[in-house]
């Protein structure tokens, strides 16, 4: 670096800042500042012109600002009322939801939230309505199950107590030698025996029905010709038809109607249905046993022409211990479980059973899948 000179040059440019505060209502709402360099400051003689230019720029900015401010105020004046109205509706909807859910929380599940919108509040109302509907259905089912349980206990207790009382009573007479002769003794023992058989039937039926409903019963399925099976069952009822002054008529299809089923269980079904027809339809004079093919289903109908089953009783006809004649005594040899057992057997085979009744006839129809 010896004998070398380093020269530094400095160039200075005058710079002036103008700062202007924007004040409205005594408050500063903004600041405008201008930086002026030599584009305005080539000479001091131009300072007045510079000041004029600055003032003009300020006035232009001020006018633009006021215009924007007015525009913003107008927008707010339009949007704020709309927003208030919109929010008021939402608040009213939310208040209705709160009031309705408070009523629901106190146990009244029959309330429904009136949904008037499709937004989030409306969706919330729909969701609550759906949940309450499910809770209502669950509550109804629980009450029905509880009532069924209560009825079952009542009916079982009654049906067990009635034959037991008779058995104990007649055996007590025999134990105390309170009979005139051998004929009366045999009469007492016969009644006690018949009552014990009724009791055994009831217990066995109840046990079998419970196993069916718990899916703990097995089916011994084989290929069966339903027409032949019903023909054999009808033949077995000839004596009962004659005893009750009923004519049994058959109308079997020409098709064989082969099904895969447990023969003994199906015999139980149709014996119950025919016995039921004899018991409650003997005034009609006829029992018809009909079969036919419909698509891939075998259809069997047991038809009697007795008294019509009331429409209010039809939905309950297959329930345990349900009796159409509420005042009818239970000394008819049945357990009150026959139709319930028939329904469960048919459903275990993947079929269905239904009943129709009018003033002229009552039809029990069984549908089973053909193979």
For 335, the token pair is 């357990």
Cα-to-chain-centroid distance, residue 286: 41
CA atoms within 13 A on the CB side of 148: 10
Checking if the pLDDT of 58 tops 60, the result is: no
Q: What percent of the chain has pLDDT over 70?
A: 76
Confidence of residue 38 (pLDDT cuts 50, 70, 90): very low
The pLDDT of residue 115: 75
Q: Rounded to the nearest 10 degrees, how much is the dihedral formed by the CA atoms of 367, 368, 370, 371? A: 170
pLDDT 10s digits, 117-136:
777 778 888 888 888 888 88
Q: How far is CA 287 from CA 96, 233, 368, in A?
A: 61, 13, 21
Checking if the pLDDT of 235 tops 70, the result is: yes
The pLDDT of residue 294: 93
The pLDDT of residue 22: 52
The pLDDT of residue 370: 96
The pLDDT of residue 42: 47
The DSSP output letter for 370 is B
Confidence of residue 70 (pLDDT cuts 50, 70, 90): low
Confidence of residue 39 (pLDDT cuts 50, 70, 90): very low
What whole-number distance in Å separates Cα of residue 125 and Cα of residue 104? Answer: 13
Confidence of residue 1 (pLDDT cuts 50, 70, 90): very low
pLDDT 10s digits, 279-300:
888 888 999 999 999 999 999 9
Name the pTM for this structure.
0.56
Checking if the pLDDT of 260 tops 50, the result is: yes
Q: What residues pair up with 262 in beta bridges, in sequence order?
A: 221
CB 36 within 8 A of CB 50: yes
Q: According to the per-residue pLDDT averaged within each range, which of 22-26, 70-74, 281-285 is highest?
A: 281-285
Least trusted range by pLDDT, from 49-58, 188-197, 272-281, 344-353: 49-58
Nearest in space to 135 (alpha carbons), one of 125, 143, 124, 147: 143
The pLDDT of residue 229: 95
Domain boundaries, the chain: 11-106, 109-217, 220-369
Least trusted range by pLDDT, from 55-59, 201-205, 333-337: 55-59
Confidence of residue 245 (pLDDT cuts 50, 70, 90): very high
Question: 3-class SS at 350?
Answer: coil
CATH class of the domain at 109-217: mainly alpha
Least trusted range by pLDDT, from 61-65, 287-291, 356-360: 61-65
Higher pLDDT, 311 or 144: 311
CATH fold of 220-369:
Heat Shock Protein 90 (3.30.565)
The pLDDT of residue 141: 83
Checking if the pLDDT of 168 tops 50, the result is: yes
Higher pLDDT, 303 or 96: 303
The pLDDT of residue 277: 92
Least trusted range by pLDDT, from 2-6, 79-83, 93-97, 153-157: 2-6
Instruction: Give the mean pLDDT of 77-88.
Output: 75
Nearest in space to 364 (alpha carbons), one of 269, 285, 268, 226: 269
The pLDDT of residue 27: 61
Mean pLDDT of the chain: 79
Least trusted range by pLDDT, from 221-235, 260-274, 299-313, 335-349: 335-349
Instruction: Give the mean pLDDT of 51-72.
Output: 57
């Amino acid at each position: 670096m010896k004998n070398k000179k380093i020269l530094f040059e400095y160039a200075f440019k005058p710079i002036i800042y103008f700062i202007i505060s924007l004040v409205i209502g005594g408050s500063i709402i903004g600041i405008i500042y201008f930086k002026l360099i030599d584009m305005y400051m080539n000479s001091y003689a131009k300072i007045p012109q510079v000041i004029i230019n600055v003032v003009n720029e300020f006035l232009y900015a001020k006018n633009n600002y006021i215009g924007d401010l007015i525009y913003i105020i107008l927008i707010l004046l339009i949007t704020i009322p709309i927003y208030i109205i919109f929010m008021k509706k939402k608040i009213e909807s939310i208040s209705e939801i709160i009031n309705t859910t408070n009523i629901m929380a106190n146990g009244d599940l029959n309330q429904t939230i009136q949904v008037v919108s499709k937004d989030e509040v409306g969706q919330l109302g729909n969701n609550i309505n759906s949940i309450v509907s499910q809770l209502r259905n669950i509550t109804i089912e629980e009450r029905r199950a509880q009532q069924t349980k209560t009825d079952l206990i009542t009916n079982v207790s009654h049906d067990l107590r009635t034959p037991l009382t008779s058995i104990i009573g007649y055996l007590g007479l025999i134990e105390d030698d309170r009979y005139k002769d051998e004929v009366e003794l045999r009469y007492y023992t016969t009644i006690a025996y018949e009552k014990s058989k009724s009791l055994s039937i009831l217990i066995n039926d109840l046990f079998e029905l419970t196993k069916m409903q718990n899916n703990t019963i097995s089916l011994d399925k084989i290929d069966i010709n339903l027409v032949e099976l019903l023909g054999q069952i009808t033949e077995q009822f000839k004596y009962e038809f004659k005893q009750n002054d009923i004519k049994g008529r058959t109308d079997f299809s020409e098709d064989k109607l082969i099904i895969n089923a447990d023969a003994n269980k199906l015999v139980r079904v149709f014996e119950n249905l025919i016995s039921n027809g004899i018991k409650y339809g003997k005034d009609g004079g006829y029992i018809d046993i009909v079969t036919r093919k419909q698509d891939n289903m075998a259809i069997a109908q047991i038809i009697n022409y007795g008294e019509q089953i009331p429409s209010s009783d039809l939905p309950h006809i297959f329930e345990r211990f349900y009796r159409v004649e509420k005042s009818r005594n239970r000394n008819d040899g049945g357990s009150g479980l026959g139709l319930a057992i028939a329904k469960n057997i048919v459903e275990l085979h993947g079929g269905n059973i239904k009943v129709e009744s009018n003033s002229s006839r009552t039809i029990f129809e069984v549908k089973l899948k053909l193979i």
